[in-house]
Chains A and B, each alone.
Chain A
Amino acid sequence: MLNFLVPDVQDLGLNLDLFGPALLTGLGFALYLPVLGCYLRLRDEILASLAYAQVGAAGALGAMALGASLNTGGLLAALGVASAKHRLVDVADARPSVRSSARSSTLYAVILVIAWGIGILLTSNFPLAERLGHALFDGQLLLSGGEQPLLTLLGSLVGLIVLSRLSKRLLLAQLFPDIWRLRSPRWQWLHLGFDLLAAISIAIATMCLGVMATFSLLLVLPWMAFVHRSNWRHACRWAMTTSVLGYLLAFGLSLAWDQPFGPVLALCLVSLAAVTAQLKPATVSLPPRCG
Chain B
Amino acid sequence: MNSVLLRLDNLKTGWATPMVGPVSLQVKRGEVVGLCGPNGIGKSTVLAAISGSATVFSGGIWRAPDCKVTLQTQQQPSLQGLPLNGHELLALTGASPAGLPHWLTDKLTHRVDTLSGGQRQYLVLWAVLNSDADLILLDEPSNNLDVAGSQHLATAIRARAQRAKNRGAGVLLVSHEAELLAVACDRCVELGESKIEGQQHA
Chain A residues with a Cβ under 8 A of chain B = 42, 95-97, 168, 171-172, 174-176, 178-179, 181-183, 225-235, 283-284, 286, 288-291
Contact = CB atoms under 8 A, between A and B. Distances in A.
A232 B112 CA distance: 11
Interface string B31-59: 00000000000000000000111000000
Nearest to B118: A291
Interface residues of B, number: 39
A95 B53 contact: yes
B96 to A, nearest CB: 16
29 contacts: A168-B92, A171-B92, A172-B93, A175-B77, A176-B77, A178-B51, A178-B71, A181-B51, A181-B52, A182-B52, A183-B68, A230-B83, A230-B85, A230-B110, A230-B111, A231-B83, A231-B87, A231-B88, A231-B111, A233-B88, A283-B114, A284-B80, A286-B114, A288-B115, A289-B115, A289-B119, A291-B116, A291-B119, A291-B146
Interface string B124-155: 00011001000000000000001000000000
Contacts of B111: 230-231, 283-284
Contacts of A168: 91-92
B184 to A, nearest CB: 21
B84 A231 contact: yes
A187 to B, nearest CB: 11
A179 B53 contact: no
Contacts of B91: 168
Given A168-B92, A283-B114, A291-B116, A178 B73 contact: yes
A284 B128 CA distance: 24
A290 B149 CA distance: 13
Contacts of A229: 83
Given A176-B127, A182-B71, A232-B83, A96 B53 contact: yes
Contacts of B128: 176, 179
Contacts of A225: 83
Given A176-B127, A283-B114, A284-B111, A182 B92 contact: no
Contacts of A182: 51-52, 68-71
Contact of A288 (B51, B116, B146): B116
Contacts of B80: 284
Contacts of A181: 51-52
Contacts of B107: 289
Given A95-B53, A171-B92, A179-B70, A284 B114 contact: yes
